[in-house]
Amino acid sequence: MNATRIARMIDHSVLHPLFTDEDLKKHCETAAKYHVATVCVKPYHTRQAASLLQHSDVKICAVIGFPHGNSTTGIKVSEAHQVIADGAAEADMVINIGKALQGDWEYTENEIKQINDSCKSHNAILKVIFETDFLTRDADKIRLCKICSKQKVAFVKTSTGYGFVKGNDGKYNYEGATEKDLVLMRKYCDPEVGIKAAGGIRNLDQLLKAHELGATRIGASATDAIMKEAIQRFGWPD
């Protein structure tokens, strides 16, 4: 492992709802500085991010149906078309969580298939976000792994980073990418399907642990802190 390999695993997340165009510019500078895999942006920021990073090796990833997955399939397909046209090479879609919870796997698979087919037809790749904090039954996660394997999506992804669950005390809690879920997803997805760990990965040791458990892509907003740790530990090539 080295700092360069670590950087190429990171999708640098720029998804906070309060981020402005100026915030996007600053985060794209961070992404380019470390040569991360992608900058992951809100749909309307796709074109601007592509322009800002056009002379770098950082690809653009845009989210679809974010963060709760409740758009119709048709809207999600249209959103995929739009972000790819605007410069995205990768798309991260949120499943319809309610449909998964009620066991409507025909709907769920059809939605994933349509969006994945659309991405592939435009030479883009799809990551499917389960939002594991909302899916409490392992059987549902396993079923999604098998559907995504059947449809040959590029990646499955644990979380949006915004899947907060309201408890009986009225407070919101969030786990994100847990070790248990990463092990499950790697076990039940075909080897060709990558695992993206997202949600709660804020330091180098958490990233390395996720990688050890099978994740080859990491969603993180704390990229600068992670990379500073990586450079201090492993050095940075000249």
Tell me the per-residue pLDDT of 140-157, one tens digit each, with 9 for 90 and over: 999 999 999 999 999 999
The answer on pLDDT for 238 being more than 90 is no
C-alpha–C-alpha distance, residues 134 and 64, integer Å:
18
| Catalytic residue positions, numbered | 92, 157, 196
Distances (CA, A) of 71 to 68, 76, 78, 79, 118: 8, 6, 11, 10, 16
- How do the domains of the chain map onto residue ranges? 3-234
Q: What is the average pLDDT across 105-131?
A: 98
pLDDT digits (tens, 9 = 90+) for 68-111: 999 999 999 999 999 999 999 999 999 999 999 999 999 999 99
C-alpha–C-alpha distance, residues 199 and 135, integer Å:
15
Distances (CA, A) of 206 to 143, 185, 218, 224, 226: 27, 17, 10, 14, 9
How many residues are recorded in the chain? 238
Q: What is the average pLDDT across 199-217?
A: 97
Choices 1.20.58.340, 1.10.760.10, 3.20.20.70, 3.30.530.20: CATH for 3-234: 3.20.20.70
C-alpha–C-alpha distance, residues 224 and 220, integer Å:
10
Mean residue pLDDT across the chain? 96
Q: Residue 161's closest CA among 177, 147, 178, 144?
A: 177
Q: For residue 205, give the H/E element and its range.
A: helix 204-212
pTM for this entry? 0.96
* CA angle, residues 124, 159, 129, in degrees to nearest 5: 35
pLDDT digits (tens, 9 = 90+) for 22-35: 999 999 999 999 99
Q: For residue 114, give the H/E element and its range.
A: helix 105-121
Taking residue 58's Cβ as centre, other Cβ atoms within 10 Å add up to 25
DSSP lists the bridge partners of residue 146 as: none
The answer on pLDDT for 192 being more than 70 is yes
Given a contact cutoff of 8 angstroms between Cβ atoms, the answer to whether 184 and 137 are in contact is no
What single letter denotes the amino acid at residue 187? K
C-alpha–C-alpha distance, residues 197 and 55, integer Å:
27
53's torsion region: left (phi>0), alpha (psi -120 to 50) or beta?
A: alpha
C-alpha–C-alpha distance, residues 95 and 217, integer Å:
19
The answer on pLDDT for 136 being more than 80 is yes
